[in-house]
């Protein structure tokens, strides 16, 4: 009987850990997506100074996100996203036309990270 109780406790612990991880990833991703949306709006309005400040905030939030997500998410996904986030500020400073595409790429990668961590039948393997 003790083994059955222990098994249920372990399954409950794994389920709680998974639920907490999904909630953390969702909230962190939403914060980063909000900052990317701000940068897009500032860029469209032509306010490069505020866009640059928002890009610095995106970098800071990204480093916090990366540190906490490395526990839950594979490194290759984080490395790809890190490269995209690192390009945002130089694109703003050089007024590059690819800024919005890079920000959309950041949004897409964040969404994919969240979806890949959701527990679903097709996502177990």
Give the CA count within 13 Å in the CB-facing half-sphere of 49: 0
pTM as predicted: 0.79
Burial class (CB in 10 A: 0-12, 13-18, 19+), 18: middle
CA angle in degrees (0–180, nearest 5) for 74-10-111: 30
**In whole angstroms, what is the distance from residue 110 CA to residue 125 CA?**
20
In 3D space, the residue among 56, 51, 113, 46 whose CA is nearest the CA of residue 86 turns out to be: 56
Domains of the chain, CATH where assigned: 2-118 (1.20.120)
pLDDT tens series, the chain, 125 aa: 889 999 999 999 988 988 888 888 898 889 999 999 999 898 888 888 888 888 899 899 898 888 888 877 777 788 888 888 888 888 888 887 788 889 999 999 999 888 887 777 766 65
Six-digit token string for 95: 């007024």
């Amino acid at each position: 009987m003790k083994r059955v109780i222990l098994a249920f406790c372990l399954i409950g612990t794994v389920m709680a850990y998974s639920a907490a991880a999904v909630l953390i990833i969702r909230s962190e991703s939403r914060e980063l997506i909000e900052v990317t949306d701000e940068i897009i709006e500032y860029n469209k309005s032509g306010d490069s100074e505020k866009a640059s400040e928002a890009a610095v905030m995106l970098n800071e939030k990204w480093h916090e996100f990366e540190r906490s997500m490395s526990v839950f998410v594979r490194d290759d996904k984080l490395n790809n996203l890190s490269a995209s986030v690192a390009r945002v500020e130089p694109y703003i400073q050089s007024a590059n036309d690819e800024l919005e595409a890079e920000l959309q790429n950041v949004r897409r990668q964040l969404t994919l990270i969240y979806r890949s961590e959701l527990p679903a039948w097709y996502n177990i393997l």
